[in-house]
Amino acid sequence: MLPSSSLATQLDATAGCLFQISSTTPFLWDVDASFSGETSPYLSNLSSLRIDFGGNRLSGNLSSWIESDIFMLCLQSNLFSGIIPQKWCNLYKLRILDLAQNNLSGGILDCFNNFTAMVDHNTFGYKLIENYTEKAYIVAKGREYEYDRTLQLVTYIDLSRNSLTGEIPIQITSLTSLGTLNLSMNHLFGSIPKNIGNMRWLETLDLSNNRPFGPILGSMSSLAS
């Protein structure tokens, strides 16, 4: 395990190289090396990337360094705290967001409808990764699934196992091409948005272990089986 003081050195040295090539090629940065400590501000140079820092011990607040060209962002199973940055409303190419099992608080952003690539499968989000062949592992329905060439078809949000509060924003139901939404094990409350039935591609919805949401809505019957 690298000491926390080595993290910034490792990431700073790498970030410059990634910045040089990211303008022409979608790039994979997959880190699973028991890193700890806070993330580096030099990550603001990264764009057009799939970023996977899952399963480390990274800490601190989620930074606004994430650029709008990011299409896959996996920061699950770390020690991040604080709120989801408002600047993330600009991640219009984002297709996969995994922040599960951190120490995040505050509410869910009411601008998730800006994630255009989760609204229409035929947007630039699809074109960006149509030739992408790297593998990704995603947990849905309690099982881990491996995706490679079919990664281009995956749209996924997992905010589970945090301390998020407040109501589910109605804007999230605009993500009509979202396949998996996991908000379980938080402190959410209020009613399930009435137009949740508009999420016609939603195959997995997990709201368990929150405060009561009221009765099951009839509109949920139109969700994908």
- What is the pLDDT confidence band of residue 43, given thresholds at 50, 70 and 90? low
pLDDT above 70 covers what percent of the chain? 59
b/e map of 58-83 (b: 16 or more CB within 10 Å)? bbeebbebbbebbbbbbbbbbebeee
Of 8-22, 29-43, 55-69, 140-154, the least confident: 8-22
Torsions phi, psi for 136 (to 5 deg): -140, 145
- 125 pLDDT more than 50: no
CATH 3.30.10.20 applies to domain 4-222: no
Report pLDDT for 143: 65
Q: List the single range of 42-46, 61-65, 161-165, 207-211 with lowest mean pLDDT.
A: 42-46
- Closest C-alpha to 139, from 82, 95, 88, 98: 98
Taking the CA atoms of residue 40, residue 68, residue 109 and residue 146 in that order, the dihedral angle to the nearest 10 degrees is -80
Q: What is the pLDDT of residues 86-96, one digit of tens each?
A: 999 999 999 99
**What are the pLDDT digits (tens) for 185-210?**
999 999 888 888 889 899 899 999 99
Phi then psi dihedrals of residue 146, to 5 deg: -105, 130
Instruction: Say whether pLDDT at 21 is over 60.
Output: no
More confident residue, 98 or 133: 98
Closest CA to 164 of 193, 186, 183, 192: 186
C-alpha–C-alpha distance, residues 188 and 213, integer Å? 8
CA-nearest of 21, 76, 72, 33 to 49 is: 72
Mean pLDDT confidence for 66-95: 90
| The pLDDT value given to residue 29 | 47
pLDDT in tens, 129-184: 444 545 566 666 566 655 555 455 688 999 999 999 999 999 999 999 999 999 99
